[in-house]
Structure 1
């Protein structure tokens, strides 16, 4: 199992839309994440900076970052593009974070 963390950026004023869309996450997307090895996935919001901090546990080569070519993921990116900072392909601008401490 590996622990992955990364940050993304929410557009100003989009907190409620972001929460609503994740409250109603597509079952096919959630299944894809689980099937790819993601066992936990948490996203936190720093409301002062609109920075999203994501953490996930993944098994094997899993992890949401390895699903970029999957049609469901690309459709999700398109759905989320109006409320987040994105790249040209609508993927979220995502910065991996290095783990510097872990307590078990």
Structure 2
């Protein structure tokens, strides 16, 4: 299993809306994640800063990377630009920083 982590940030005052949009996540998107071997996907909020830490496990990096090719995924990313900090006003996805694992205790 490959462990992945990322940081994104909710726009000021939008953390509650970000959480609302995930409860529940779109069923079509959940199905794609499941089909592409995504497990143990969690997102945690640091309330004071709006930073969101995401953690997930994937079976295969190539299969995981194909998720972004689906229209429903692109639609979700666009939907979330309303509540996430983005690189620029015309971004089609929130600004995401992938993190490098530096320690793991199995």
Compute the TM-score of the two structures, normalised by the length of structure 2.
0.89
1:78 aligns with 2:78: yes
Consecutive unaligned residues of structure 1, counting only runs of 5 or more, are none
Query: How big is the alpha-carbon RMSD for the aligned residues of Structure 1 and Structure 2?
Result: 1.4
- The alignment of Structure 1 onto Structure 2 pairs a total of residues equal to 103
User: Residue in 2 aligned with 1:53?
Assistant: 53
1:1-104 matched pairs, under 5 angstroms: 1-61=1-61, 62-63=63-64, 66-87=66-87, 88-104=90-106
Alpha-carbon distance between aligned partners in 2 of 1:69 and 1:89, rounded to the nearest angstrom: 16
Compute the TM-score of the two structures, normalised by the length of structure 1.
0.90
Consecutive unaligned residues of structure 2, counting only runs of 5 or more, are none
